[in-house]
Structure 1
Amino acid sequence: MTSGSRAASVPAVELKVSTRSHAGHTVVTIVGEIDLYTAPRLQAEFTRLLGQSQTMLVVLDMSAVEFCDSTGMNVLLSALKRLRERGGTLEVAAPRPAVRKILQVTGLDSVFVVHETMPEKLLTSESQG
């Protein structure tokens, strides 16, 4: 019967990733949950972003990220490493309490620059793009 297709059905958790670049910095807005199933989508976006631009500062808008597991944190660390190799940096902005707690428990809040909110300079530059 249809047992083969039913076995692969996992609750669909959507992850939306959008990017916008302005004068040497890129804001990556992430919406949803970052976990084992959705992390490859985020990894693919970082690969695309790093492959096509000379962006030196990437700021992750995590205000709409409800959950991030160790797989997601590994994707963020990998992107940070790749940016640092090019002289750039990756910053985290507006993490929700659950994500902030993961950053604190793992010690990654001292690895990433973490902003309570989206930096004002990035908000004002949006309209100039």
Structure 2
Amino acid sequence: MKSVLRIDTADIRGQTSALRVAGDMDLATVSVLEHTVDAALGDHRTVILDLTGVAFCDSSGLNTLIRLRRRAQDSGGRLILAAPPPQMMRLLTVTGARNVFAVYGSLVEAWQAHPVPGSPPTA
């Protein structure tokens, strides 16, 4: 079965963009993730990835997230993870990557923790 990854813009506030990710983050789809997040980081300092819809993430997905995090940091920005599913949270924890990412339970929590000046608070 072919892996599918869908990435949509969930919200943009100032220099922060939130992207909704759904599907499998694996060797077959990480190029889509990398290209899309790279483009978002080109336009916004901070990118929040809403991972609620991720069905599966393997080591290539994790490595791509780590590379993207480094690129964001190198340009003075951040890559934030919101709502990783249990399988992905285990992968982040077991590999120690949980300690290098800002991880929140939901997109709302991520916005609340990183408010954008001049934006209305989220409910």
1:25 corresponds in structure 2 to 16
Query: Residue type matched to 1:17 in 2?
Result: I
RMSD, aligned CA:
2.0
Residues 3-18 of structure 1 mapped to structure 2, 5 A cutoff: 11-18=1-8
Question: Structure 2 length normalisation: TM-score?
Answer: 0.83
The separation in 2 between residues aligned to 1:111 and 1:65, in whole angstroms, is 20
> Which residue in 1 is equivalent to 2:89?
100
Deviation at 1:110, TM superposition (A): 0.4
Structure 1: 5+ residue stretches without partners: 1-10
SS of the equivalent of 1:100 reads: helix
Q: State how many pairs are aligned.
A: 114
TM-score of the superposed pair, with normalisation by structure 1: 0.80
Is residue 87 from structure 1 mapped to residue 76 from structure 2 by the alignment? yes
Unmatched 5+ stretches in structure 2 = 113-118
- Per-residue CA deviations over 1:65-118 (Å, capped at 9, x if unaligned) read 011111111111111111101111111101110010000001111000110122
Larger radius of gyration, structure 1 or 2? 1
